[in-house]
Structure 1
C-alpha cells in the first residue's frame, strides 16, 4: 500500500542544468571582464541551477537501488519518495559545503602567495643583539654575548654591528645608495597616478618589479670591513672573499646588483638638519652580493664612511648560530641576556605561521554542523515515514542491525550527495574568483604576483570525514530493535 516514487519532471532537470551552465558562462565572462557584480550574478544562478536539479538527481540515484543490498536500496528509494524533505536537506548541505570550500581555497591560495612573496630581513642562522640605547650604555658586553651564544645557539662567529650617522646629530642622516636612472622607475609604488601613467608604468621595463623591489632609496646600512658581511648577507665563500677585498679597498657592498654600475657604487648622505638641504655624495668601488633579503643591505667600509664625513657607532653584535634556532633556544638565549640591561635580540623566523589553518578548520566545522544537522533531521523524517517498512522487515525475520544500517544509509544519501555537489560547486566558484582576482592584479600597477590555483586539502579532508560522522551518528542514535505492530483489518 505504499505510494510510489513521484515521476521525474524533466523540465526541472532541464531548468537546473540550463541555470547552472548559464551561471558558469556568466561568471566566466565576469572574470574575463573583471566585473565582480557579473561574477556574483553568475555564481548565484549556478547555485540555483544545482538546487533545481537536486530532486531529479535524487530520483536518478534511486534507479541504482536495484543493484544495491537491502538497506541502501530502501534508503535511496525512500529519499526518492520523500524528495520534498530530502532535496532541501541536500541543498542546505551543498550550500554550506560550497561556501566553505570556496573560501577555503581562496585562503589557502592567499597563504601560499604570501609565503612566496615573503622576503626575510636576515639569514635564518643570523641573530642581531643590539642595545636599546647605545648612546647611554654602549654595545652589550662581548664576552657575555659570546658565552650566551655559545651555550644556547652553538655559535662560533660574533662580529660587531656598526651603524653610521651624522657627526652633529647621529640619527638625522639618511645614508643610501643611488641607482642609475636607467634602473629607476619614474613612478613610485602606491602613489596616486593617472590611468594613462599606470599603462605607461606597466609597459616600462624599469617598473616591472613587485612594490618591495622598487629602488626607493631605502636600504639597511652598516659599516663593516668584511667581518659581519657573511652573516648579514648570507653570501657564498667566493662572494665573501671578493666583497671583503672591495671593503678593505675603501669600497661598498650592496645586495641589489642594480645599484652597481661599472664596478662602482654611488653613495649619498642627506642630513635632515642641514639648512641648505644639499646631499653629500661620493662614488666608491663596489661589489654586488646576490641576496633575497629585503630591504637590501648597503655595507660601507670605514674609509668610505670617512669620505662621507660620517660618524660611526657600534650598536651591537652579529651572531651566527650553528643552525636556525628553535623557540626553546631563542627563549634561553634571551633569558641569558637579561642581566645585561635593555638589550634586544632579533631573529629571522621566516613565514611559517599565517593563522589561516584555524579559520579553515572553523569553516569546515560550520559546514560539518549544517551537514550533520540536515542529515539528522531528514533521517528522522524518513524513519517516521518508513515505520511500516520496519514492521514488515521485522515480520519477515530481519535482524536488529538492519534498522541501524538503514539509518546509516539514509543519512549517507543526504550527507554524501550534498557534500559532493558542494565540493564541485565550491571548487568551481573558487577557480572563477581567483581568475578574476589575478586578472585584476594584472591590470594594476605596481606588479603584484598572481594567486595560485590551489585545492584546499585541509578543508576537503575535514569535509570528507563529516559524512562518515553523520552516518555513524545516525547508526549509533537509532534503536536496533525493529517495531512489531498488530494490524486489525
Structure 2
C-alpha cells in the first residue's frame, strides 16, 4: 500500500464499475484537449517552417539580393529582411545597378537571375483589376518553388505569362490576352498554376518586359525594385554586412536557416509588445480553461471520494496514512486524466486532417504540408492531465481528513469549512480587482499583462469565497418548500461536490459578462463616434469610374444627367437634387484643393469633417444635406445663405465674420501655388459637436459675383423621399444600369454590425451550454449521491414527484448561485478591459471616451433566464419515481 500501484488498481477498477461517471470525466477533459490540439495542428499546417518559407521566397537560389545602389549610403538589415527588416542609411533616391556591377560585388562565380516585382492595373470588361506581378525566368532552375504550373507551360517567349487560379477565375485563363499599361504588346496567358503565397489574391508571373513597364524616373525604379536570385557558395552573415555597405539587402539562405546571435546584429529587432500581450492573453486563456475543466470535473471526483468513504475509513482504521488515502482519489484523476488526454490528443490528428480542406477554403493563403506539433500537443495533453488531477485534489484532501468513526457508522458529511479560506479568498479577490484597475489605467505600460494576470487572480479568489455563498443559501432556505430546503442544505453539507459546480458556472458567467461588457462598450464607442454622411433618411449617388492611363473617361455631367433621368423614370416618388461644389483645377494645373479660412488668419475652423462628395466646400442656397447642426442652427444658416453670406462650420471656437475661399494648385513635380479665391466673404460661423459632412456652404450668388461660376461642377446627387430597403435596392439596380461605377448610399444612422450580433449570440449560446453542462453534471451526481436520502423519502410516503422537484431545486441552487456570483465578478474584468479599448486620444475631446455600456438584457438573461432554463431541463430529464432501495447501500 506504500506506493501508487494499489491506488492505481483501485482507480482502474472504479473506472470500469462506474462507466457513466467515468465517461463524463473523460469527455470533460478530452474535449478541450481535442479542440486545442486540432487548433494547433491547423495553425502549424497553415504556417510554414523556416526552410519552407525560404523556398517560397528564394526558390532554389542561395540568396535574394535587393539593390539600392551606392548613393543611399549603405543599408542596415536584420538576418531576415524578407518582411521589411531593413532600412537605407541615407536620404538619396535608390539607383539600382546592372547585372555586371552586381556580379562584381558578389563574385564571378555567382550566377544571377533577374526578378522584378510590381503592381499592375488591367482592364477586364467594365472592371479594372489590380494585382501584383513578377517578372523572372520561370524556366530557370533557380526559380523552382516560386510558382507551380498546373496547366499549360511556363513562359518561354516574350509577352508570355502564367497566372494563378484566382486570376484565371476572374476571366484571364488559358489563352487569354490582356493589355498592361506602358507595354505595347498584350500579354498572353500560357499557363495556370499556384503561387505559394496567395490563394485568393490574383497573381501573374511573366518573362522580362511582359508585365512591368520600363521605369523612366527614379521614383518608378523605387516602385519596381530590381532584385536578383543568386546561385553561389554560402553567403555568411559577415559577408552580408559587407554587402550592406555597398547598398545591397541580402536574404541569404545560410543566414535565414542559421541566424547569427543577437550580439552580432547591429540593430536587433526588439521584442514586440504585441507579442508579449498576445502571450499573456494566451496564458490567461490556458489557465482559465484548466480552471474550468477542473471545476466541471470536480463534482465527479467528489462523488468518487464519497463512494470510497467506507473503503478509506477501513484503510485508516487498519493503519493507513492520510497520504495513502489521498493517493486513492488522486489516482482516479491520473487514470481518467491520462486516458482523456491521450485519447483527445490522438483523435485530434484525423479530425484535423479532415478539417484542413475546410480551413483552407477560408484562408487567403495556401497552407503548408500537414504538420503535427507533437511536443506542443504533449504539453496540451499534460495540461489536461493536470486539470483532472487538480479536480481530484480537493476531494482527495478532504477524504484524507474524514472522521473515521463517522464514516464507518455511515454518517455522511464534509468536515466543517475552514474559516481562513473565505478570508484569503476575499483578499485575493481584492488584489485582482486592484490589479485590473491599475492595468486599465496604465494600459500602455504593460497594462495588458497586469490585466490578464488580474483576471486569473479574480477567478481564483472567487472560487475561494464560493463556500460562503453555499453556506449562506442553506441558512436562508428555511422558509422554502421541502425540495428547496433539501437541495440547499444538502449542497451545503456536501461542499466538495457543490462548490466546484457553482464555481464552474460562476467562472462561465463571469467570462461571458466580461466579454459582453467589452463588446457592448466597443459598440457604444462606434455609435458615439459614427459620422453621418447625410441627414438620416437621405441618400446620395456617387460616380467614381476606374480608368487606366490613356483611357477616355465619360463626362461626369453626362453620366449624372442619365442617372437622374433614370431615377425620375423608375422611382418618381424620390426627389433628386444636384450637389454642386468647387471642382477641377484651373490655370493649367493638374491638381488642386479648396479650403476655407478666416480672413484674419490661418486658423483651422474644423478638425473633424468628411468630404462626402469629394469636396468640403459646397455651393448651395439651402442646408438640407448638411449634418452636425440642430434645427435652430439650420434655420439661421438658411437665412444667411438667402442674404448672400457663406455658412462655415467650426469645432475650435473660431467664429470669424469674414472668410476667404482659397484654391491651391500644382503640377506633378512642381511646388504648390495659389489658384483662384474669394476674399473677404461675409460668413455665419456655427459651432458643431463631433463632425460634419461639409466644411462650408457658399451661396451661388457669391460665387457668381466672384466670377467663379465656371469653377463649380456637379459632384453628385442627393435623394430625398421614402427610402426603404426595397427602394434602396431598386435605386442601386437603376443607377448601375446606367453605369457600373455609379453607387447609391442611403444614410440610416449607426447600425449594429452583424458581427456584434453574432458575437453576442455566440456568448449567450456558450454560456448556456457551459452552464447546462456544469449544472446537469453536478445535479445528476448529487442525485446519485443522495439515493439513500431519497429512498428514505419514498419509504415514508413521499410524493411521486419529489425526486423531480429535488433535482430541479439542485439545479436552481447551483446555477442560480453561480450566475449571481459570476455576474458580479464579471463586471471587474469587463469594465477594466472596456476602458483602454474604448479610449481614443486621436478623436475630438468630447469623443475620446472611455465608453461603458453594460448589456443589461444579456446580463439579465444569463442571471435569470439561464438558471431557469437549466432548472427546467433538469425537471424534464429526471424521473419522478423515487428509488426503492435500502437506507445503506
Query: Match for residue 424 of structure 2?
Result: 15
Q: 2:685 — aligned with what?
A: 288
> Contact between 1:360 and 1:458, CA under 8 Å: does it hold in 2?
no
| Other-structure match for 1:304 | 703
Q: Is the contact made by 1:372 and 1:470 (CA closer than 8 Å) also made in structure 2?
A: yes
Once residues 434 and 581 of structure 2 are traced to their aligned partners in structure 1, the CA distance between those partners, rounded to angstroms, is 61
Q: How does 1:2-401 map to 2 (within 5 A)?
A: 2-34=411-443, 35-132=447-544, 135=555, 137-141=558-562, 142-151=564-573, 153=574, 155=575, 158-159=577-578, 161-167=580-586, 172-178=591-597, 183-184=603-604, 212=608, 220-224=616-620, 226=621, 229-232=623-626, 236-246=634-644, 252-256=646-650, 262-273=656-667, 275-280=670-675, 281-285=677-681, 286-288=683-685, 294-301=692-699, 304=703, 307=707, 311-321=711-721, 325-342=723-740, 343-355=742-754, 356-401=756-801
- The structure having more radius of gyration, on CA atoms, is 2
- CA, structure 1 residues 170+372, in 2 after alignment: closer, same or farther (shift >3 Å)? farther
DSSP-derived class of the 1:21 partner? helix
Higher relative CO (Cα under 8 Å, sequence separation at least 6) belongs to 1
- The total of aligned residue pairs comes to 450
Structure 1 residues 175 and 408: alpha-carbon distance in aligned structure 2, compared to 1, 3 A threshold: same
What secondary structure is seen at the aligned counterpart in 1 of 2:802?
A: helix
1:413 to 2:822 alignment: no
The DSSP-based 3-state class of the residue aligned with 1:334 is helix
The answer (yes or no) to whether the contact 2:589–2:667 under 8 Å persists in 1 is no
Match in the other structure for 1:470: 870
Please, what TM-score do these two structures have when normalized by structure 2? 0.46
Distance 1:366 1:57 in 2: 25
CA displacement 1:234-258 (0-9 Å, x = unmatched): 76344213213326xxxx4333376
Q: Structure 1: give runs of 5+ residues left out of the alignment.
A: 185-205
SS, match of residue 231 in structure 1: coil
Distance 1:32 1:231, change over 3 A: closer
Alpha carbons of 1:183 and 1:166: their partners in 2 closer, same or farther (altered >3 Å)? closer
- CA distance in 2 between counterparts of 1:445 and 1:262 reads 24
Q: Which moved more, 1:274-283 or 1:101-110?
A: 274-283
TM-score by length of 1: 0.80
Tell me if the contact between 1:170 and 1:311 (Cα under 8 Å) persists in the aligned partners: no
Contact 2:788 2:886 in 1 (8 A): no
In the alignment, the residues of structure 2 paired with residue 175 and residue 423 of structure 1 have an alpha-carbon distance, to the nearest angstrom, of 54
Shift in CA distance, 170/470, structure 1 to aligned 2, threshold 3 Å: farther
* Secondary structure, aligned partner of 2:555: helix
Task: Give the distance between the partners of 2:429 and 2:636, measured in 1 at CA.
Answer: 61
Q: CA RMSD in A?
A: 3.4
Partners in 1 of 2:874 and 2:529 — Cα distance? Answer: 46
| Partners of 2:835 and 2:737 in 1: CA distance | 55
The aligned residue for residue 192 of structure 1 is none
Q: Verify the 8 A CA contact 2:517 2:853 in the aligned structure 1.
A: yes
Distance 2:747 2:588 in 1: 30
Higher helix share: 1
Q: Which moved more, 1:73-82 or 1:88-97?
A: 73-82
Deviates more, 1:61-70 or 1:403-412: 61-70
The 1-side partners of 2:840 and 2:715 are apart by 42
